[in-house]
Structure 1
Amino acid sequence: MLDGFNALAAPADSPDAYAFGRFLLRVRERVLLEEGVSVELGSRALDVLLELLASGGQLLTKEALLDRVWPGVIVEENNLQVQISALRRALGPFRDWIATVPGRGYRFTAPVTIIAEPTTVTHAAYAAAEAPALSVLVLPFAGRGEGKAHQWFADALTDSITTDLARALPRGGAVAAQVTADTYRLHAADAREIGRSQRVRYVVEGSVLVVSDSVRVNLQLICADTGAHLWADRFDLPCTGDVLALQDVIVGRVVRSIAPRLINADADRAERAERERPGGGTAEDYTLLGWSAFCRGAPLREHLDLARAYFTRALARDAEHADALAGIGMLAVKAVVEGAPFDDAAARDAKLAEADEMFQRALKLAPGHYLALKGGLGLLRARGAFDDAIIAAKAMLARNPAEVFIHRELGLNLLHLGRAEEALDWFRRADAFGASEPMRWIWLQGEGRALLELGRDIEAVEALRLSIAGNPTFAATHALLAAALAMAGQDDAARAAITVFRRAEPDAALEYLAQPTPLLPAQGPLPGGRRVLEGLRRAEALSGA
């Protein structure tokens, strides 16, 4: 009550409203609307928001905000932090529009439209505001074929793609609700018109054709600013009797194709802005750049170093950016499970402790944070908690059955436990969902390991060669190929492959290579990797080393 009594009155010359993104702040009524729906917000938080919007994107120091929002009252600085946190919660995926300037204050980074006339304060006013950068609308898929069942199947695909795409995008990504997209079901609309009216930057459209025993999916990603087609694809799948399983495969392939392209497209925008104004990006900009570098199909050390630098910049602007925290954590895990072996067990443990801290911070800020939970699976594997990792992975898979990362983690943990047949099944499921995924080489390498353990050496050679085609820079895959070739009796090819590996890694121990995850200190012999190690030793002997 007292908080409301002390609320600041609107100056006589203040605007009637501010429009930003999907939000509209009616100044005199002191109401914040999100797409026409009132957002619950305390009066002090509204006062802070008004000051930020009126600043025109300029820095507002903490002292200035305290003086203006609590005039004539001495209050602790944490009162301001509480109101900033409340505002960020209200903004949801757009919380980074309130940027923290460390040690100084805050500034509002989103484009703001000032509305002076009461008659213009309508839903259309904030519709005209600039669309969020990473925003997309999935148009209803067209069902091709005879009968209503084909359109029902297409509608089910559209719903699932919308849901899973929203989960796959980083924080700040916005996927229009399906009820909004359904308005375009009965009349064609130009992508640019959709972008203007729905404030989205990208539009996804597609069709599904079911003919006897096969399904064909066509897909386009369109820039709503220009109407240009950024990417298109077509793929065919066998039509099995399990409709839900078929739907999962289609949805998985579509989402895994679109999400990284959306991230890269927006990262390109952020990169251009960074070149024009170095150091002027937001926490969201730097996080997108970090994930773009992290998710490249064949990551080199410089890509991962660049990703860490971007995530660090994001955290310098917003220490509570959960996606950036999760990114730092995943890089730390990656350094252990895919990097060079650690000579010092303490250094390895410290790297994993850093990852654990980052994931816990992200989950505290955003309970159930998907990227932090995914990173936690790799952390469990790196610590040798294979059974726990399998349990956690299956729990996550119930939420997102098309997530190839989880299928891969299940396969790798099962390999460690000597369960190669089960592991092979999970790797092949990953490939069904992610056949066009840039990171495909990772589970193909796992598939090659599993086949080698099972004595299916020729099949292992094929899988490992495909993995190398996807990422020729990952030296360990050349060693595994050498092992498979040696076990298959192809001595000359094995000798050539192990030579390629040794040029890149002259000192790596074979025991280190035999496990999917670098051997843990004091872990002792593990069930998986015994036949791989035998093949590596044969290949090494062939080279005369």
Structure 2
Amino acid sequence: MRYLFEDYALDPDRRELYRGANVVPVAPQVFDLLDYLIRNRERVVSKDDLINAIWNGRSVSDAALTTRLNVARSAVSDTGEEQRLIKTLPRKGFRFIGPVREEGRDGRVLADSGGEPEKPALALPDKPSIAVLPFANLSSDPEQEYFADGVVEDITMALSLFRWLFVIARNSSFTYKGRAVDVKQVGRELGVRYVLEGSVRKAGNRIRIAGQLIDAETGAHLWADRFEGPIEDMFDLQDDVTSSVVGAIAPKLQHEEIKRARRKPTENLDAYDYYLRGLAKARWTKGANSEALQLFYKAIELDPHLACAYGMAAWCHVRRKALGCMNDQALESAEATRLARKAVDLGADDPFALCMGGYALAFLAHEFDDAAAFMDRALAVNPNLARAWMLSAWLRVWRGEPDLALEHAAHAMRLSPRDPSMYYTTYGAMAYAHFLASRYDLALACAEQAVRDNPGFLLSTCISAASNAIAGRREQAQRAMSRALEFNPDLHLSNLRDLAPFRRMEDFAIFARALRDAGLPE
């Protein structure tokens, strides 16, 4: 028998937690905690109940119990603040409140405590929530796909600047690209009330943007319109779409708030076009990343004040270092630091430039305090930017703040619940956070998930080797270390801090010692 809730399945017989087809790594105690809460979901479970069931009556501190509950919540993308699945009732206990279906091995539903049989829904946030789906490219040139995607990126970013909105990250929305979708299903899978669909047609010197806003609960069309004009008015047209959507969701919103959320990144449309091409090319491969970097440099050449292009160029250098393919590390690190500084100086109110530039300053220049200040500013300007929360989780790892790293990682995953790249990067950050907190069983579980999702991500492979080494799994540690050295043969203990820039030397010492035991050469 399995317990199904949202897009998760808990299999007590195999002792596995699944999200879709993927296994979610959980430590044995955390699995037992979830299992016990789900089995007893019809009642409030006391602290003593949990201690007797999970710890066999041994003395357990409130802090230890809270930590395990938070890890259990994180495993199912819940948080202590949201509590949509595991609810804490002060002075009474805890209860699993999510709809659960019991399913037999033959797929037959044995019991149903509510929810959608086909696609269990994510709980709606406590504020209006929206996903912007990929717009159809109606241009005669299929190569203009990057341009249509860029329009969606801009509209998503503009909407996310409204603090009272909950906006799903672009990468999760784009998992529906090229598919015929049911907006009700999209609403359930992403946990949103509204869905924006549309199309973009670019022909010669003119552009047309059409959009329709749909209530994902009822399927009702709340607004539909199209906006057309010369290409130089593109940003104004995007603002018109954004304003119309916001006006349909909250008609009484003050005009000044809409005005403040409008942001024109550049007057130079050629520079912006190169920037969009760079975004479309930017990937975690050496060739694609190098091509994207040149496109961002071209955008900067055409508009030396384009903050987001500086931020992405700096990020390309971060990727080069993480991939172990810098040709001249000192020279490239200096150049990346210059780009990052330009990004945060020019983009004081641009959350994308702030988070990308800020992280580059931490990873490449070890300017951790400035990086944290820029990252915090990015999150204040745009609390819906999933990438900023993910990068902030990594930044907190390097700063030696594991609990904050886990909190920010969980928030990133809720804002982007279907982004494959978010999972391996965020699980990697969670693995390092648990490692710093000496929770090596949880570090190993998260590391294995990160490596499973992307075996080529060097940081995840290294934390897998370190976690296995500390857990005494010597063979697995050596195997992971061998994979890491295949990705980067030049990796040694002497240059390890280039890859893992821990601020606290005691954190780095533990990590380095574990990798030495796993077989990393001096």
Q: TM-score, normalised by structure 1?
A: 0.46
Larger Rg: 1
TM-score (norm 2): 0.48
Which of 1 and 2 has higher RCO (CA within 8 Å, sep 6+)? 2
